[in-house]
A and B are shown apart, each in its own frame.
Chain A
Amino acid sequence: QKEVEQNSGPLSVPEGAIASLNCTYSDRGSQSFFWYRQYSGKSPELIMSIYSNGDKEDGRFTAQLNKASQYVSLLIRDSQPSDSATYLCAVNRNQGGKLIFGQGTELSVKP
């Protein structure tokens, strides 16, 4: 089992819809959880971080964390074509900043 798993996609949603991206992790000691967005040919950029159970909202983005189920998700409301990218889930296992990444989910938002 991979430490951090994501559906590789591609996930295709129409413009204006809600995109739901999911991630599971295996280490119950994981402390912090991050979502990075990566456009084709570019490096990843941080869009959300979450540390405690529940929801965290930032604009059109909502991160959800359920530590009991070892599950973290990212919701993108009112999806736009500019949201088309690969979304990487990353987990910090409290080992000095060492992040473990999932394989990424490719999102395509169709106009």
Chain B
Amino acid sequence: DVKVTQSSRYLVKRTGEKVFLECVQDMDHENMFWYRQDPGLGLRLIYFSYDVKMKEKGDIPEGYSVSREKKERFSLILESASTNQTSMYLCASLRGAATNEKLFFGSGTQLSVL
């Protein structure tokens, strides 16, 4: 089965810090996604990538950037962390762009910004 690995399960950072969230998938999937999940709001798409060095904004990209230098790795960067970025961050990967493809999720990173 596909494995999507997020580097940290829990992370505590201070306001203004630069934060890197790492995600690696092991099945040569084309597409990778970063979502954040907040109570009552469901999953909201931050950024996604269809290929190496390709990225597209999702619904809430403000305050975030991403990097995809290698196919298997998709990084989410908080340039200057703020308290309203405290959230659960979920990485996901998808084999292709067909509409019936299954999305595979990592185990999530709970980020607290103090």
Highest count of chain B CB atoms <10 Å: which of A43, A46, A100: A43
Which of B40, B45, B98 contacts A100, CB < 8 Å? B45
**Which residues B16-64 have CB closer than 8 A to chain A?**
31, 33, 35, 40-45, 48, 50, 58-59
- Check B90 for interface membership: any CB of A closer than 8 A: yes
- Check B107 for interface membership: any CB of A closer than 8 A: yes
Q: Tell me the nearest residue of chain B to A5, going by C-beta.
A: B42
Highest count of chain A CB atoms <10 Å: which of B35, B43, B108: B43
Is B43 a contact of A101 with CB atoms below 8 Å?
A: yes
- Check B97 for interface membership: any CB of A closer than 8 A: yes
Select the stretch in A13-21, A70-78, A88-96 that faces chain B.
A88-96
CB distance from B101 to the nearest CB of A (A): 6
- Complex CA gap A86/B82 in Å reads 28
- Complex CA gap A31/B98 in Å reads 10
Is B45 a contact of A44 with CB atoms below 8 Å?
A: no
CB distance from A97 to the nearest CB of B (A): 4
State whether A96 and B97 are in contact (beta carbons under 8 Å apart), knowing that A102-B42, A104-B42 are contacts in the complex: yes
Q: Tell me the nearest residue of chain B to A30, going by C-beta.
A: B99
**Which residues A1-19 have CB closer than 8 A to chain B?**
4, 6, 8
Show 23 residue pairs from A and B whose CB-CB distance is below 8 angstroms, ordered by the A residue.
A32-B100, A34-B103, A42-B108, A44-B90, A46-B102, A49-B102, A51-B100, A90-B43, A90-B103, A92-B99, A94-B99, A96-B50, A97-B31, A97-B33, A97-B94, A97-B101, A98-B33, A99-B33, A100-B59, A101-B35, A103-B41, A103-B42, A104-B42
* Chain A residues within 8 Å of B, Cβ to Cβ: 4, 6, 8, 31-32, 34, 42-46, 49, 51, 88, 90, 92, 94, 96-104
